[in-house]
Amino acid sequence: MKAEIIAVGTELLLGQIVNTNAQYLSQELAAIGVDVYFQTVVGDNMTRLQEAIRTAQSRADIILFSGGLGPTQDDLTKDAIAAVLGRDLHIDRLSMDKVEGFFRDRGVEMTENNRRQALTIDDATPLKNETGLAVGNALVQEGKYYVILPGPPKELKPMFEQEAKPWLLQHALGGSEMAIYSKMLKFAGIGESALETKLIDLIKEQSDPTIAPYAKEGEVTIRVSTKAASEAEALIKLNAAEVQIQQRLPEYLYASEDVPLEKVIVEWMGRLGLTVGAAESCTGGLVMEMLTSIPGSATIFKGGIVCYSNEIKKKLLNVPHDYLEGENSPGAVSPEVAQVLAEQVRMIMDSDFGLSVTGVAGPGYSELKPVGLVYIGIAERGKKTEVHELRLNGNRETIRIRSAKAILYRLWRRLVENEKE
Amino acid sequence: MKAEIIAVGTELLLGQIVNTNAQYLSQELAAIGVDVYFQTVVGDNMTRLQEAIRTAQSRADIILFSGGLGPTQDDLTKDAIAAVLGRDLHIDRLSMDKVEGFFRDRGVEMTENNRRQALTIDDATPLKNETGLAVGNALVQEGKYYVILPGPPKELKPMFEQEAKPWLLQHALGGSEMAIYSKMLKFAGIGESALETKLIDLIKEQSDPTIAPYAKEGEVTIRVSTKAASEAEALIKLNAAEVQIQQRLPEYLYASEDVPLEKVIVEWMGRLGLTVGAAESCTGGLVMEMLTSIPGSATIFKGGIVCYSNEIKKKLLNVPHDYLEGENSPGAVSPEVAQVLAEQVRMIMDSDFGLSVTGVAGPGYSELKPVGLVYIGIAERGKKTEVHELRLNGNRETIRIRSAKAILYRLWRRLVENEKE
């Protein structure tokens, strides 16, 4: 079954609100095995709304509408659908009782336009609105299914869940139990195109489960999806695909659900009772901000120092003066300084791990070192400190995010390696 | 001019991400007088993408595309448009140099699929990508304007602002004498609804210039717009409206252009040669991360300490033990601790200002203090330290962002007050 979602509202076309209804409905439809092929947004305009309905009829079996059910003259959705289908509208008695009761209970006189909220297309099934006044509709005509929902998410979600979904399952999906199941595989320490190259044959040739890379700010994700009659049946296929992918990219797959790397680290260290501190120069606090964004980080993160100036690197982190200044000094952006920062902050925080980042985020640069040159260090109690050189591209923000993700990746690898020992 | 926005990506149709690009582009197009009549979302599928393009051709003069410009086999946008328009594609030399340079600088071998990111439709204008690798395109054919933008918002926004908008103004809107001019007024220290209440008569009744509140993550913005024949003529009207708004909200208007508060602070302190340090508990580094996100922050920001644990508050910031522990102690989330943190970090960093944040970001809480209770402190050399109590609503992320913005607002107010003296 192919579906199209039509959101109605000029406020969407003006960018005053974002279309979260389309996202919600798409997720819900995927979960019951309905493929959404198009999402459309159209304004509160009778001609263009009818045009959008006719376009959807030509390419979808199920058309879901959100918005335009309110009391004002701008709310045209049911009128437009009725016109396209050649049907009339009537007042649904139960819904009208509810609208009238609402005003009576508040001692407010009901204005005439509120009757519009009880309008129902002839021979449609009214969909009850538990959290608002406008009634929804569901109907079938010439093999096409129409589901009409209100715009406010707090009305649309319960109406979809309690009224529209059961109606669709019974009428459009005829009791068929096939649903789409997906698994998100999350990767760190590898770019999107390198990852795709390693999996290109699977992405191109495999049709069940399907394997698709997709980009999300600062992260690389693979979605593995299959249609199945039950979750158990789906999991057999999804897990087999995950094993296959994992074998090709053993060093980079950090989670089989949609979580950020810092969450995996915080939870893992929490289980082992490990702690970490950080000394940040060019990232300016971003590594610590990422770690502490995770609830529960207080048990693993003790604190850290943002040592933006050389003065603070010397004073608080004991970086030797001749590492920072003088003709033959390695300079603040150097493996030597990354090592001292990681080791010193670990000792100061008395933590199991110490992380450091020092680099040139740009746009300015110093010491004849290029923008994007970054050193990251990771110290561990009783072990040798490791330092990595990064050469990153992008603007200041991108370089800072990639540097922070890189040190978190190294920390995660260290946890993996330690567990093997 | 009628426009349609086509967002391309199966992840949108699966509801994995929300279509914020459509919102952004709709706002931007409204601001230059272009009416968006439809927004469409279509998956990474050649047939349906071509179908969506043909539908858009039948009902719009300007078609903007977002997404599907990446290196993978799923990225089909340019191929589909070229096919519909009967054109070929070629590799844009400048863009290819950038892609190759990216991999060379990182010492990583470029995989062949990355060449796709430099693809350009024959006779199209390449749109530079400042923050990524995929080149955009703009072209005219048979009186229709096509603008092709990348999917990641951090690439799409600068490309639209710097490349696509000027192209549209010149080519698609070139004939019109009147242009829309806007001014963005930025506010801090006040919520959106409080701000709207103070300006409701202007927002509702004034038609030239129009005054519209504009939501953006964690910020409050008013856009003042007018149609005029010249910039000089527009500025007279825009400046008069700004003065009127400023008189009603004198304490909150921090800029007349679209810049974050931290940028205003960094530049102001830079001019005066002032410095700042920070001690952060619940914000975990976010205040410092915001300040250091601004180029040039190295001259005003020396460093700071994330004192997530009580142990570090005592050890590095000299918070007295009996402030933190014991039956009658005020506890870590208290005005007393906020004051000590601000004063101590100012002394440690030897800076003009010291900032502090300590609070309960949730979801867990301690000391019988509610989630959202936050104390912020600001110490200044030779002046009395001020401490403010905040009672914030929202989830962990929201509380952290609002706390960070609140201390930056207080620092900005202090700069304003000092200048008056």
How close does chain A come to B237, measured CA to CA in Å? 23
Mean pLDDT of A10-16: 87
Residues of A in contact with B38 (CB under 8 A): 13, 40-42, 48, 52
Encoded tokens for B127: 């749109």
How close does chain A come to B350, measured CA to CA in Å? 10
B11 vs A41, A214, A217: nearest CB: A214
Banded model confidence at residue A218, pLDDT cuts 50, 70, 90: low
Closest C-alpha among A100, A52, A101, A108 to residue A80? A52
| Number of Cβ pairs < 8 A linking chain A and chain B | 279
Q: Name the residue in chain B with its Cα closest to that of A225.
A: B14
Mutation to test the B interface, candidates A214, A301, A333, A391, most B Cβ within 10 Å? A214
Q: Answer yes or no: is pLDDT of A177 > 70.
A: no
Distance of CA A129 to the CA centre of its chain: 28
Residues of B in contact with A316 (CB under 8 A): 303, 305, 316, 348
Helix (H, G, I), strand (E, B) or coil at B139: strand
Q: Name the residue in chain A with its Cα closest to that of B286.
A: A289
More confident residue, A239 or B108: A239
Q: How far apart are CA A178 and CA A1, in angstroms?
A: 11
Closest C-alpha among B200, B235, B237 to residue B222? B200
Judge whether A323 and A333 are in contact, CB under 8 Å. no
Task: State the pLDDT at residue A365.
Answer: 66
Q: How far apart are CA A200 and CA B59, in angstroms?
A: 38
Task: State the pLDDT at residue A343.
Answer: 98
Residues of B in contact with A389 (CB under 8 A): none
Banded model confidence at residue A205, pLDDT cuts 50, 70, 90: confident
How close does chain A come to B321, measured CA to CA in Å? 17
**Domains of chain A: which residue ranges?**
2-171, 179-255, 261-420
Q: B32-57, pLDDT tens digit by residue? A: 888 899 999 999 999 999 999 999 99
Residues of B in contact with A215 (CB under 8 A): 70, 151-152
Mean pLDDT of B124-145: 96
Task: State the pLDDT at residue B203.
Answer: 79
Mean pLDDT of B368-382: 93
Encoded tokens for B92: 């844009």
**Identity at B202, one-letter amino acid code:** L
B130 vs A37, A217, A395: nearest CB: A395
Asked if the Cβ–Cβ distance from A27 to B14 is below 8 Å, we say yes
B18 vs A12, A23, A59: nearest CB: A23
Q: A113-139, pLDDT tens digit by residue? A: 889 999 999 999 999 999 899 999 999
Residues of B in contact with A396 (CB under 8 A): 293, 295
Closest C-alpha among A219, A211, A220 to residue A183? A211
A26 vs B15, B307, B312: nearest CB: B15
Using a pLDDT cut of 70, give the percent of chain B over it: 97
How close does chain A come to B278, measured CA to CA in Å? 9
How open is the CA angle B130-B133-B135, to the nearest 5 degrees? Answer: 80
Task: State the pLDDT at residue B244.
Answer: 93
Judge whether B341 and B377 are in contact, CB under 8 Å. yes
Asked if the Cβ–Cβ distance from A37 to B37 is below 8 Å, we say no
Residues of A in contact with B105 (CB under 8 A): 372, 391, 393
B10 vs A15, A212, A291: nearest CB: A212
Q: How far apart are CA A194 and CA B200, in angstroms?
A: 53
Q: Name the residue in chain B with its Cα closest to that of A398.
A: B131
Mean pLDDT of B3-13: 95
Asked if the Cβ–Cβ distance from B13 to A26 is below 8 Å, we say yes
Task: State the pLDDT at residue B367.
Answer: 54
Q: Name the residue in chain A with its Cα closest to that of B39.
A: A41
Q: Are strands A62-66 and A144-149 parallel, antiparallel or unpaired?
A: parallel
Q: How far apart are CA B32 and CA B28, in angstroms?
A: 7
> Cβ contacts of residue B233 below 8 Å, gap of 6+?
none
How close does chain A come to B58, measured CA to CA in Å? 11
Distance of CA A417 to the CA centre of its chain: 29
Judge whether B282 and B360 are in contact, CB under 8 Å. yes
Q: Answer yes or no: is pLDDT of A217 > 60.
A: no
How close does chain A come to B229, measured CA to CA in Å? 24
Encoded tokens for A13: 């076309």
Asked if the Cβ–Cβ distance from B17 to A28 is below 8 Å, we say no
Encoded tokens for B221: 């913005």
Banded model confidence at residue B176, pLDDT cuts 50, 70, 90: low
Mutation to test the A interface, candidates B16, B21, B74, most A Cβ within 10 Å? B16
Q: What is the DSSP string of B80-108?
A: HHHHHHT--EEE-HHHHHHHHHHHHHTT-
Mutation to test the B interface, candidates A1, A306, A360, A391, most B Cβ within 10 Å? A306
B24 vs A12, A15, A350: nearest CB: A15
Q: Answer yes or no: is pLDDT of B160 > 70.
A: yes
Torsion A28-A34-A36-A42 (CA) sign? negative
Q: How far apart are CA A90 and CA A192, in angstroms?
A: 54
Asked if the Cβ–Cβ distance from A48 to B38 is below 8 Å, we say yes
Asked, colleague to colleague, whether A179-255 and A261-420 share their fold, the answer is: no
Q: A347-396, pLDDT tens digit by residue? A: 999 999 999 999 998 887 665 789 999 999 999 999 999 999 999 888 89
Mean pLDDT of A305-322: 96
How close does chain B come to A145, measured CA to CA in Å? 19
Asked if the Cβ–Cβ distance from B308 to A293 is below 8 Å, we say no
Banded model confidence at residue B30, pLDDT cuts 50, 70, 90: confident
Mean pLDDT of A247-268: 94
A212 vs B74, B107, B289: nearest CB: B74
Distance of CA A385 to the CA centre of its chain: 35
Banded model confidence at residue A33, pLDDT cuts 50, 70, 90: confident
Residues of A in contact with B59 (CB under 8 A): 48, 51
Asked if the Cβ–Cβ distance from B55 to A55 is below 8 Å, we say yes
Residues of B in contact with A196 (CB under 8 A): 71-73, 111, 113
Helix (H, G, I), strand (E, B) or coil at A72: coil
Asked if the Cβ–Cβ distance from B13 to A39 is below 8 Å, we say yes
Judge whether A299 and A267 are in contact, CB under 8 Å. no
Task: State the pLDDT at residue A364.
Answer: 72
Q: B211-243, pLDDT tens digit by residue? A: 877 655 557 888 888 888 788 999 999 999 999
Task: State the pLDDT at residue B225.
Answer: 85
Q: How far apart are CA B119 and CA B294, in angstroms?
A: 33
Judge whether A125 and A138 are in contact, CB under 8 Å. yes
Q: What CATH number should be reported for the domain whose range is B261-420?
A: 3.90.950.20
Encoded tokens for A106: 């508040």
Q: B345-359, pLDDT tens digit by residue? A: 999 999 999 999 999
Task: State the pLDDT at residue B175.
Answer: 53
Asked if the Cβ–Cβ distance from A284 to B296 is below 8 Å, we say no
Q: Answer yes or no: is pLDDT of B157 > 70.
A: yes
Mean pLDDT of A73-83: 93
Encoded tokens for B401: 């962002």
Judge whether A378 and A354 are in contact, CB under 8 Å. yes
Asked if the Cβ–Cβ distance from B303 to A307 is below 8 Å, we say yes
Mutation to test the B interface, candidates A16, A186, A289, A408, most B Cβ within 10 Å? A289
Considering chain A, what is the average pLDDT of its residues?
92
Task: State the pLDDT at residue B348.
Answer: 97
Strand order in the sheet with A210-216: A210-216, A219-228, A179-187, A253-255
Q: How far apart are CA B167 and CA B124, in angstroms?
A: 12
B311 vs A191, A284, A302: nearest CB: A302
More confident residue, B97 or A229: B97
Burial letters for B389-415: b for 16+ Cβ neighbours within 10 Å, e otherwise?
A: ebebeeebebbbbbbbbbbbbbbbbbb
Residues of B in contact with A55 (CB under 8 A): 55
Could you report the predicted ipTM of this complex, rounded to two decimals?
0.73
- Helices H, strands E: what count in chain A? 15, 17
Asked if the Cβ–Cβ distance from B39 to A13 is below 8 Å, we say yes
Given the candidates 3.40.980.10, 3.40.50.920, 3.90.1640.10, 3.40.50.300, the CATH classification of the domain at A2-171 is 3.40.980.10
- Omega of the bond leading into A330 within 30 degrees of 0 (cis): no
Architecture of domain A179-255: 2-Layer Sandwich (3.30)
Q: Answer yes or no: is pLDDT of B179 > 80.
A: no
Residues of B in contact with A279 (CB under 8 A): none
Mean pLDDT of B366-378: 87
Q: How far apart are CA A241 and CA B369, in angstroms?
A: 47
Residues of A in contact with B312 (CB under 8 A): 302-303, 349
Residues of B in contact with A303 (CB under 8 A): 305-309, 312, 316
Burial letters for B224-235: b for 16+ Cβ neighbours within 10 Å, e otherwise?
A: bbbbbeeeeebe
Q: How far apart are CA A138 and CA A64, in angstroms?
A: 9
Encoded tokens for B94: 């400048």
Task: State the pLDDT at residue B216.
Answer: 58
Q: How many Cβ atoms are within 10 Å of A364's Cβ, its own excluded?
A: 11
Strand order in the sheet with A276-280: A386-391, A373-380, A353-359, A276-280, A301-307, B301-307, B276-280, B353-359, B373-380, B386-391
Strand order in the sheet with B219-228: B210-216, B219-228, B179-187, B253-255
Residues of B in contact with A393 (CB under 8 A): 102, 105-106
Closest C-alpha among B370, B366, B373, B368 to residue B388? B373
Phi, then psi, of B17 in degrees rounded to 5: -135, 160
Q: What is the DSSP string of B148-194?
A: EE-SSHHHHHHHIIIIIHHHHHHHTSTT-S-EEEEEEEEE-SS-HHH
A15 vs B23, B55, B292: nearest CB: B23
Using a pLDDT cut of 90, give the percent of chain A over it: 70
